Amino acid sequence: MVYDAVILGGGPAGYETALWVSSRGGKAAVIESGELGGVCTNRGCIPTKTLGATCDIIEQIAKAKRYGIDVQTQGLNADELFRRRDRVALTMRKGVEKLLQDAKVDVMRGVGKVESETEVTVNNDTVEGRTLVIATGSKPVGLPNVELDHEFVVSGDDAAASSKLPKKVVVVGAGFIGCEYASIYSRLGCGVTLVEALPKILPLEDEDVSDALFEAFSKTMKVVTNAKVESVDREKKAVNVSGEWIQADMVVLATGRVPVIPRGLDEINVLHDKKGVKVDSMMRTSVDNIYAVGDVTALPKLAHAAYAGAEAAGRNIMGDKFEADFIGIPWCIFTSPEIGRAGFTEPEAREAGREVRVGRGDYMANGKARCMGERIGFCKVVVDGRTDEVVGVHIFGAHASDLIGEAALAVRMRLKAQDIAKTIHPHPTLSEVFKEACEKATG
């Protein structure tokens, strides 16, 4: 048979595209060599947030006395911690399988190779589609002088699946992946050293946020910036960081991810570079009937970005004219404290020619935060002084990932700071920090 869409990859981008095609009455096939759900379900979002939930409970127990509760525990059961992580991931993976089954999407196991603009081979069989969708995701990138052995030197994917709790761990790379792992290991009681080659951690975040997380991390772990990993000694279990040897039971390389480009794209002139497959706002590649979605493109490597791109691809395959809109897409970093961002940083806004005004609301002055015992945190808004338009929002503190949704809407819809300031927010809630920040930005 000829499918409406043959999709290479069964992660968020791939399975969501298939569901959109099916919802429009089309027939889709998903080709996947590994586990359905991709990195997000199996080695990324879900496993790490499950571990993070345990970390949150550990922190709450440590603070219990100040809430008037006497608690005694027998410590951390690491085996049960990892069993729960695996159970949650399995449940989510089975959920994806059920969705595809109910939508009558054909799932084919194996590595797909693009043979033409309409054909893919898998396990020596040819699968034909009216359109092809490249959703092969991304993979961790290591260091040229340090090889992954997946035991002592591991990737972020390895760490998410590992059932070892190292006493000492060196995390290399202080982007959002590295910072999340550093936070998890530290809260689980491991000795952590976080290494970053650039002058500050979270180099892409707003400077106020980066500085605040550096201060918080410095209380619980060793943070080394302007430093490089020169080599590792596996026998001695040590890492050479700019000439200083640091003992470690595990080294996590969180130095970024690169797109997984499937075989056969060059032969049919699908344009791509080191950032990924090039697409337009409808997720079409340089070949009209071939689409690309998710981490394999140069778009943000986020599951929710993949979902948005999948909607565009699936709908357009079935005849809609639909453009994906990534304006104000939120970023969340699940450290402790959490971080949420939408839109420009302050320097980015200035570089874009905006007349910048800044407003800030602090957790210290927020009633709900005080009740929760969360005094560290803030919301910073970046506003265009000429138009009063909210062009960036940065939240550092408890539940930042839950709060950033309202901010993302404000940035996407180009709302004015006065719109937020005049909107009555419920009291007492953490959401009031966004209102307060906008009030200050409007004067």
Dist CA 432 CA 246 (whole Å): 44
- Whether 399 is a known active-site residue: answer no
Strands (E), 27-151: 28-32, 106-109, 113-114, 119-122, 125-129, 132-134, 138-140
The Cα–Cα gap between 366 and 362 comes to 7
Residue 409 burial by CB count (10 A; 0-12/13-18/19+): exposed, middle or buried? middle
**426, burial (CB in 10 Å: exposed 0-12, middle 13-18, buried 19+):** exposed
Beta strands in 130-199 (DSSP E): 132-134, 138-140, 153-155, 168-172, 191-195
Phi, psi angles (nearest 5°) of residue 117: -70, -15
Phi, psi (degrees; rounded to nearest 5) at 6: -105, 120
Catalytic residue among 150, 272, 394, 427: 427
291, 166 contact by CB (below 8 A): no
Residues, the chain, total? Answer: 443
Sheet with 125-129, edge to edge strand ranges: 2-3, 125-129, 119-122, 113-114
Tokens at 265, concatenated = 């794209």
Q: Which residues contact 376 (CB under 8 A, 6 or more apart)?
A: 212, 216, 337, 363, 364, 397
Neighbours of 164 (CB within 10 A): 12
Closest to 229 measured CA to CA, from 185, 178, 172: 172
Query: What DSSP designation does 208 have?
Result: H
Given the DSSP bridges, would you call strands 28-32 and 5-8 parallel, antiparallel or unpaired?
A: parallel
**The two three-digit tokens of residue 126, written as one number:** 């040819």
What positions carry a catalytic annotation? 427
